[in-house]
Chains A and B, each alone.
Chain A
Amino acid sequence: MSDVENGLPKFRKPPVVETVLAVFFRPKFNSAHLGVLWDRHFRDRFPNLEERPPVEEEPERFGEDRLAEGPAVRWRVMDQPDVARLWATSKTDEHVVQFQRNAFLANWLKTGDDTSYRDYVDRREEFRQQLECLDRFAVERELGPIEPTSCWVTYVNHIDYEGMDQIGPALARLLACWTNETSDGWLPNPDNVVVNWGFPMPDQSGRLRVQLRPIARRNDKKEMLRLELSARSSAQKREIGEALAWIDLGHKWVVRGFASLTRPEMHRLWERIQ
Chain B
Amino acid sequence: MSDALTISEQQFERVTQPRPAADYLLTERRVPPRDAGVSLWLVDVQRQLDAIKRLPPGWNSHGAPAPNRQVVDSAEQLLKCLCAAGALPRPHVNPTPAGGVQFEWQSASRYFEIEVVAERAAQYLYCDDAAGVEKVGEVFEDEPLEEVLACIRLVAAGQ
B144 touches A213 (CB 8 A): no
Kindly state whether residue B119 has any CB partner on chain A within 8 Å: yes
Q: Are B141 and A27 in contact, CB atoms less than 8 angstroms apart?
A: yes
Report whether A156 and B74 are in contact in the complex, using a CB–CB cutoff of 8 Å. Answer: no
**With A and B bound together, what is the CA distance between A96 and B4 in angstroms?**
13
User: How distant is the Cα of A27 from the Cα of B141 in the complex, in angstroms?
Assistant: 8
**Does B61 sit within 8 A of A, measured CB to CB?**
no
Q: Please tell me which stretch of A6-14, A98-106, A168-176 contacts chain B, meaning at least 4 of its Cβ atoms lie within 8 angstroms of it.
A: A98-106
Interface: A72 (CB within 8 A): yes
Assess whether B144 is in contact with A18, with CB atoms less than 8 Å apart.
no
> In the complex, what distance in Å separates the CA atom of A59 from the CA atom of B77?
21
Query: Which of B7, B14, B119 has most A Cβ within 10 Å?
Result: B7
Does A40 make an interface contact (CB < 8 A)?
no
Residues of B within 8 A of A132 (CB): none
CA of A189 to CA of B14, assembled, Å? 20
Contact B77 A109, beta carbon cutoff 8 Å? no
Are the CB atoms of B4 and A20 closer together than 8 Å?
Answer: no
Known pairs A75-B77, A107-B7, A226-B12; A59 contacts B145 (CB<8 A) = no
CB contact list, A133-177 vs B, under 8 A: 149, 152, 154, 156, 158, 164
Q: What is the distance, in angstroms, from A188's C-beta to the closest C-beta of chain B? A: 17
Judge whether B4 and A53 touch: CB under 8 Å.
yes
B140 touching A73 by the CB < 8 A rule?
no
- Inter-chain CA distance A18–B12, complex, in Å, is 13
Contacts A27-B141, A73-B145, A101-B142; A109 near B4 (Cβ below 8 A): no
Query: Are B144 and A59 interface neighbours, CB within 8 A?
Result: yes
| B45 contacts partner chain A, Cβ-Cβ < 8 Å | no
Q: Chain A residues near B9 (CB, 8 Å)?
A: 156
User: Which residues of the partner chain B approach A245 to less than 8 Å between Cβ atoms?
Assistant: none
> Interface size of A by Cβ–Cβ distance < 8 Å?
49
Q: Mark B14-55, 1 if CB is under 8 A from A, else 0.
A: 111000000000000010000000000000000000000000
Q: Is A76 positioned at the interface, with any CB of B under 8 Å from its CB?
A: yes
Q: Judge if B81 is at the interface, Cβ distance under 8 Å.
A: yes
Report if A266 contacts B (CB, 8 A): no
Asked whether B5 is an interface residue with its Cβ less than 8 Å from the other chain, the reply is yes
Q: Please tell me if the beta carbons of A156 and B146 are within 8 angstroms of each other in the complex.
A: no
A41 at the interface (CB under 8 A from B): no
How many chain B residues touch A (CB < 8 A): the figure is: 35
* Residue-wise interface mask of A (190-221) relative to B, using a CB-CB cutoff of 8 A (1 in contact, 0 not): 00101000000000000001000111111000
Tell me the smallest distance from the CB of B71 to a CB of chain A, in Å.
10
Are B6 and A75 in contact, with the CB atoms below 8 A? no
Per the bound structure, the CA–CA distance linking A177 and B2 in Å amounts to 25
* Residue B85, interface by CB 8 Å: yes
> Is B139 positioned at the interface, with any CB of A under 8 Å from its CB?
yes
Q: Which of B2, B144, B146: most chain A Cβ within 10 A? A: B144
Q: C-beta contact mask, A1-37 vs B, less than 8 Å → 1, else 0?
A: 0000000000000000110101000110000000000
Q: Which of B5, B9, B120 has the most CB of A within 10 A?
A: B5
Q: Is the CB of A59 within 8 A of B146?
A: yes
Q: Are B74 and A77 closer than 8 Å at their CB atoms? A: yes
The minimal Cβ–Cβ distance linking B150 to chain A, given in whole angstroms, is 9
A73 and B4 in contact, given A192-B15, A214-B16, A218-B11 (Cβ under 8 angstroms): no
Q: In the complex, are the beta carbons of A26 and B143 less than 8 A apart? A: yes
Residues of B within 8 A of A (CB): 1-2, 4-9, 11-16, 30, 73-74, 77-78, 81-82, 84-85, 119-120, 122, 139-146, 149
Interfacial residues, chain A to chain B (CB-CB below 8 A): 17-18, 20, 22, 26-27, 52-53, 55-57, 59, 69, 72-78, 93, 96, 98, 101-102, 105, 107, 109, 149, 152, 154, 156, 158, 164, 192, 194, 209, 213-218, 223-224, 226, 228, 230, 235
18 sample A-B contacts, Cβ–Cβ < 8 Å, listed by A number: A17-B8, A18-B6, A26-B143, A52-B4, A55-B2, A55-B5, A59-B146, A73-B82, A73-B149, A75-B77, A75-B122, A77-B77, A77-B119, A78-B77, A158-B12, A215-B12, A218-B11, A235-B144
